[in-house]
Amino acid sequence: MKVMKWSVIAMAVAAGTSQMALASSQSESEGFVEGSSLTILNRNLYMNRDFRDNGAGGTPAVNGQSYREEWGHGFIGTFESGFTQGTVGVGVDAIGLLGVKLDTGRGRQGNGIFPAVQGDEHVADDYSQAGAAVKFRVSNTVLKYGTQFVAVPVFSTDDSRLLPETAEGGLISSSEIEGLELNAGRFTALSAQRESSHDALGLDEIIFVGGTYAFGDNLSTSLYYSDLQDAFEKYYGNVNYNMDLGGEQSLAFDFNIYQSEYESEYVGTANDEDNTIWSLAGTYAFDAHKLTVAYQQSHGGVDGVGYIYGDDGGGTVWLANSIQYSDFNGEDEKSWQARYDLNMASYGVPGLSFMTRYAQGWDISTATGEGKEREWDVEAKYVVQDGAAKDLSLRLRHAKYWSDSDYAPITAQT
């Protein structure tokens, strides 16, 4: 922890001696009403899964369910006020969420979209949540307290289902120095994506601090620390480098690493356990194409589980091989990925894109041996470019997953 704190301070000092401070955003405030905005995102989600052999991590094997199918419509409303004028700007943000079931039934539920009722035998017809946050701004530093979405590497609310997670607490974000962004937060409640309760996941307290520094247009680094009460401490680091090769060609590298220190009571062992997991991805882009290869490796863990997340946000897994179904985060697991992206704008169809990838993991330490897993994903997406339906996004995703009998992935939201 001391190393992390001193590193962040050192980055701030270095930035302060080399670059001028940014102009104050607060001095340009339009006002509470004038700077406000209201957005309502409509999301329609249909999801089915066929587990074939009743695997699915054990639960369907107990109740005989091998097929899951759910369809719903979600409304995600966000209101953001402007800041009042003056030295200290004051504002209010609000979030309203509503999910409506369109189709599912007994024996087909279970994809983590709708709240379960009657002991998982049925799901609710609808569910909702609302919250607000007050915010204060001085210069380029903002303090926000209340219900909000959060996206930092050690505490990230998940948005992989019909409605997103929300968190309750305080977050300070500061960009006083050009290229340097610092974040510090304390949160005491975390919702689940399929629940109306503000603290469905039972978060007691998490604190975190860290930031990102951009050395220029091509190189940036991040460093974060978090402490989840009675569970674990995490350290996160990132280096991202982009190289322009000319002629519509570029090369990018992205390195991510987590060091987690789990408390014995949390993992259910006699001793504290540690896990280190890292990934390195390289992407070569040319014209409309992108080719990506990645390698990821996990060291340590317990009972087949290496890197653990979810209690600190279902999106807290900023790793190259965290993909559609699996995160390839097992104990001592090694994995690789190959990916291809195609942007059809270069072929006269702007807004249309395709992606496919394959990932494979091996050497997973389990109670019965060394587990293996692999996944193949295909995705097509189209965004309407103009007209009355401008920005309407349509996305079709397909994933096929295999694992041997020694291993079933444990992720925050499978």
For residue range 88-130, what is the model confidence (pLDDT) as tens digits? 999 999 999 999 999 887 778 888 899 988 665 688 899 999 9
Mean pLDDT of 22-46: 92
**Exposed/middle/buried for 213, CB within 10 Å: 0-12, 13-18, 19+?**
buried
pLDDT at 281: 98
Mean pLDDT of 360-387: 93
For the chain, what is the radius of gyration of the CA atoms? Answer: 22
Q: pLDDT above 70 covers what percent of the chain?
A: 88
pLDDT for 62 beyond 50: no
- Residue 376 neighbours by CB distance under 10 Å: 17
Query: Please, which pLDDT band fits residue 7 given cuts at 50, 70 and 90?
Result: very low
pLDDT at 119: 63
Specify the residue for token string 């539920």. Answer: 109
Sign of CA dihedral 28, 34, 36, 39: negative
Mean pLDDT of 338-360: 97
Residues 351 and 384: beta-carbon distance below 8 Å: yes
pLDDT at 304: 80
For residue range 263-319, what is the model confidence (pLDDT) as tens digits? 988 988 877 889 999 999 999 999 999 999 999 999 998 878 899 999 999 999 999
Residues in the chain: 414
Q: What value does the mean pLDDT of the chain take?
A: 89
pLDDT at 53: 62
Q: pLDDT above 90 covers what percent of the chain?
A: 73
pLDDT for 18 beyond 80: no
Strands (E) in 34-125, as ranges, are: 37-50, 67-80, 88-103, 116-117, 122-123
pTM above 0.85, yes or no: yes
pLDDT at 107: 75
For residue range 387-410, what is the model confidence (pLDDT) as tens digits? 999 999 999 999 999 988 777 775
pLDDT for 83 beyond 60: yes
Residues 194 and 113: beta-carbon distance below 8 Å: yes
- Domains in the chain (CATH in brackets) are 230-414 (2.40.160.10)
The tokens for 365 are 């330490």
Mean pLDDT of 134-145: 97
Distance CA 122, CA 408 (A): 25
First CA to last CA across the chain, in angstroms?
32
pLDDT at 54: 53
Angle at 381 between CA 380 and CA 383, to 5 degrees: 160
